[in-house]
A and B are shown apart, each in its own frame.
Chain A
């Protein structure tokens, strides 16, 4: 079963705009991770944020984590056509049960030139 729920399911914006994706989850976590997947390819790790962290940056990416609300957001600034992909949040649950990483259903991001 999917723990994470991502919002929106699909997002289409113009190149240069910012894109924000949200993720909600249900259980306590060790960390939350964001991944990108281009069509037909594997997942590429973007950022890992631990449960005691509130915000993390990597280049044009900014991730926030609110453990009280069990939610996270991924912000991509100054979007580019190459950012077109599906983005997934994944939680590392605590304590770890049957699930290693629990993925959301993903947000399909389209950047229009």
Chain B
């Protein structure tokens, strides 16, 4: 069974631009969560989607948004990019998201110039 797939793997943007990252969960998984990983702040939860609805949201500004499609694939968007948005963005999926292990993709490395 294919794992969680994130595209693209690497991305370079400049300040003020916007970016869209994509995540395809494991087949049958309906919960998709996004995390940001930086050397300074570590792993921080962005949001979770389940059946096309945002179920949980972390403490990030409104520039960070996401959505989930009917096939459970998810996208996250960051607008008006700032230097501090440089990070590894990780997507994780699970069957229902409740009391279950999360299966992570290899992430998208976003660099802001």
Chain A residues engaging chain B, CB cutoff 8 angstroms: 2, 30-31, 33, 35, 40-45, 48, 50, 88, 90, 92, 96, 98-106
Contacts and interface: CB of A to CB of B under 8 A. Distances in A.
A41 B106 contact: yes
A54 B59 CA distance: 32
A50 B106 CA distance: 26
B98 to A, nearest CB: 8
Given A43-B92, A98-B56, A99-B58, 19 more contacts: A2-B42, A33-B101, A40-B106, A41-B107, A42-B4, A42-B90, A42-B105, A43-B90, A43-B104, A45-B101, A45-B103, A50-B99, A98-B57, A98-B59, A99-B56, A100-B33, A102-B45, A103-B43, A106-B42
Q: Is the interface of B mostly helix, strand, loop or mixed?
A: strand
Given A98-B57, A98-B58, A103-B43, A42 B99 contact: no
Q: Which 4 A-B pairs have the closest CB atoms?
A: A42-B104, A103-B43, A45-B101, A43-B104
Nearest to B9: A40
B102 interface: yes
Interface of B: 4, 6, 33, 35, 41-45, 48, 56-59, 90, 92, 97, 99-107, 109
A8 to B, nearest CB: 16
Contacts of B90: 42-43
B45 to A, nearest CB: 5
